Structure 1
Amino acid sequence: MRRKTTLPADGLTGRARRARVEPMAVRPLRDGRYVVETDGGTYVVDIETRTCTCPDNAIRHARCKHLRRVAIEITTGEVPPPGRRTATCAVCGDKTFVPMDARGPQLCRTHEHHPGDLVHDRETGSLLVVTRALHTRADETTTEPGRLVSEFETNTEYGDHEPVFEAVYLGSLPATVGLSGLSGLEGVRTYRFPASRLSRVEQGFVGSRSLGDQLVRA
């Protein structure tokens, strides 16, 4: 449970000021709404419909201090936006927000990889392109030879609990991949890596631009 906190007034007045200086605790619900606990009572806020169960909003139809406080805490990253929940990054341990139905270990924006990203292998120095996120841990994901990703000596410095990504070596990409995108990678051998072994070089490397243009930039 979160404790009630206050925020700097920032020279504001009226409801905008009360939303910051009055002690409140905001707690997200699984249905996308938020419970706001104050010294005067507890209310439920729906940020998407801009409604609150307090009299100021329900009767006067005002943008009450509870609606304002929820909006502030979403903007500052204190609570997740509607449709997302709080999770812990499997690499750095920082708080991150993920979809409600997200499964497996999660990553923050810094350590996340997406299909089409150009990445650097910290062990070999090679460049690869991410093809797929598996959403499974390194100690429960096997490679083509049947070994767990976490069992390889080159992966001992990376967390067994980290999510695994599939990637292809840049040099193995066919010349047509720039036009067809990742759909042109059928038959190219993929490899599996724990998340923190790969560091992003360029997001969306394989995408709308031609591969030739991308290689010149790389």
Structure 2
Amino acid sequence: MTHPAHTPASLPATRSKTTFPAAGASGRARRARVEPMAVRPLRDGRYAVETEGGTYVVDLDANTCTCPDHQLRGARCKHRRRVALEVTAELVPPPGKRTAVCAVCGGRTFVPTAFDGPALCRRHDHRPGTLVRDRETGDRLIVVAATGERADRVETATGRLVADYPTNADYGAHEPVFRAVYLDSLGRDGDVNRYAFPASRLRRVEGRANGDAGPPRTDGTAPPTTV
């Protein structure tokens, strides 16, 4: 179920040039879609855009590009438009974030640049208020907190590590821990106990308390075609 062998090194360092469907666009907007380009995030939050005619650097926050079209004309060039397309399509991280590997499934996700904890993709990240089901018991719970710490470092109220429980043997000791309360305990009098679970032991329930389907693509983007 878990993939502890996955590391950031498993992500490709570079990308091939790709194109987007024209989507009825014209002018620079069309060229941003149909011309083969490769967008690569840089460490300083900018993006290198490789084209057939050269490589340029785009700064989305400053609305700049090093290409002649922007430098001489002040235009919103095809390179800036292309970076915006790829950020919206979640092909590259937005400014202030970097690409990381989900600690549960090894899939790609984006985290803040300075983040140094175990990363999680949308599928395995549980926000407070999310309705989930315990894979071991089938019980429903409400997530109340994300610890940001690994299961082999978080102790329960009894002083035992989350990873050491036999019921958690099938879940990665490296997985981030979430605290949750049982749904049927919320209507009872007295204190409600919080329990700790490795991320992948909790399965999000459809019709959850708060959605996490991710931002919809409203600009008509579609998966690009590799060139």
Compute the TM-score of the two structures, normalised by the length of structure 1. 0.79
Question: 2:18 corresponds to which residue?
Answer: 6
Deviation sequence 1:38-82 (CA, Å, 0-9, x none): 343332212233211111001101121211211121122210111
1:82/1:197 Cα in 2 relative to 1: closer, same or farther (>3 Å)? same
Taking the aligned partners of 1:79 and 1:117, their CA distance within structure 2 comes to 27
Query: Aligned letter for 1:199?
Result: R
169, 177, 182: which one pairs with 1:164? 177
Alignment size in residue pairs:
196
Report the aligned-residue RMSD: 2.4
8 Å contact kept, 1:103–1:135: no
Consecutive unaligned residues of structure 1, counting only runs of 5 or more, are 177-184, 206-218
CA contact 1:4–1:38 (8 Å) conserved in 2: no
Structure with bigger helix share is: 1
Q: Which has more radius of gyration?
A: 1
Find the aligned partners of 2:69 and 2:114 in 1 and give their Cα distance: 34
Quote how far apart the aligned CAs of 1:12 are: 5.0
| Cα distance change of structure 1 residues 69 and 142 upon mapping to structure 2, 3 Å threshold | same
Q: Aligned residue for 1:211?
A: none
CA pair 120-75 structure 1, distance change in 2 beyond 3 A: same
Q: Which has the higher contact order (CA 8 A, sep 6+)?
A: 2
Q: 1:19 to 1:204 in 2, by over 3 A?
A: closer
Determine the C-alpha separation between the residues in 2 that align with 1:8 and 1:155.
44
- Ranges in structure 2 where 5+ consecutive residues have no aligned partner: 1-12, 212-227
Deviation at 1:164, TM superposition (A): 0.4
Structure 1 moving runs of 4+ over 3 Å: 11-14, 20-23
For 2:149, the aligned partner's letter is: T
Tell me whether 1:85 sits opposite 2:98 in the alignment.
Answer: yes
Query: 1:203 maps to which residue?
Result: 209
The answer to whether structure 1 residue 193 and structure 2 residue 202 are counterparts is no
